[in-house]
Amino acid sequence: MSKQVPYRLQRLRRRIRVGWRGMRDDAGGSLVELGLMLSILGVPLMLGVVYMGNLEHYSIEISNAAHSGAMYGMRSSTYASNGTGITTAARNEASDFGTALAVTPTTYYACSNAEGGTTYTTQALATAGCTGTGNHYLEFLQVVVNGSVTPLGKVSGMARTVSLSSTSVMEVQE
C-alpha cells in the first residue's frame, strides 16, 4: 500500500528543486560579496571596538582608583584627613597612570536627617547646624580622580587624548 503525498508537499518539493537549480549559476558570488563587505566595513568596525574597549578599561581603572581612595579614608576621621594615604591608595589601584593621576580628597559634613541637604565644611558648623531630636552630623569623604589617556590606535573622528574622571563618596566611620 503506497502512501499518498499531499499536494502542498509536492508543490513545496518542486519549488525547492527549482531553487537549487537556480543557485548553481551563482556559485561563489555570495562569498565574494561577503569578503568585500567585511573588508570595507569590518576593519573600521574592529578598530572602533578596540578603541572603545581600551577607553572602557581605563575608565574602569579610574573608577576603581576613586573607590579605593575613598575606602582607605572612610575607616576613621584620622584616615579621612590623611590626603597622602588616600592618594597613595588610589594610585596603587590605577598603576597604569602612575603619578599622572590627580587625586583630590575632600571631607564634608551633613545632618543625619537631611543627608542630601545642606553640607558643612567643618565639624563645628555641622554641630551647630544639626539641631533637633536624633539629628547629628555625619562625616563624608569625597575622592575625585582625574587622568588623561591616549588609547591605542588613531580612529578618525575620535579624540586622540581623552580626559577621564570619577568621584566616590563614602561616609566616614567613627
Residue 98 CB: number of other CB atoms within 10 A?
9
Residue 19 pLDDT? 62
- Would you say residue 25 lies in a domain? yes
Among 144, 164, 146, smallest CA distance to 104 is for 144
Classify residue 47 by burial, with Cβ atoms within 10 Å: 0-12, 13-18, 19+.
middle
- Would you say residue 2 lies in a domain? no
Question: What is the three-class DSSP state of 174?
Answer: coil
- Within the chain, strands assigned E span 102-111, 114-120, 137-149, 162-171
Overall average pLDDT of the 96-122 stretch: 86
Of 20-29, 87-96, 111-120, which has the strongest mean pLDDT? Answer: 87-96
Q: Please give the Cα distance from 103 to 166 (Å, whole number).
A: 10
- Would you say residue 103 lies in a domain? yes
**Domain interval for residue 14:** 7-171
Asked whether residue 115 carries a pLDDT value surpassing 70, the answer given is no
Q: Cell for 46?
A: 574592529
- Would you say residue 79 lies in a domain? yes
Residue 24 pLDDT? 59
Dihedrals phi, psi of 168, to nearest 5 degrees: -130, 130
Q: Which comes out higher in pLDDT, residue 101 or 3?
A: 101
Roughly how many angstroms between the first and final C-alpha of the chain, as a whole number?
A: 92
**Look-up of cell digits 574597549:** 53
- Would you say residue 1 lies in a domain? no
Domain tally, the chain = 1
29-62: pLDDT as tens digits: 778 888 888 888 888 888 888 888 888 999 999 9
Asked whether residue 13 carries a pLDDT value surpassing 80, the answer given is no
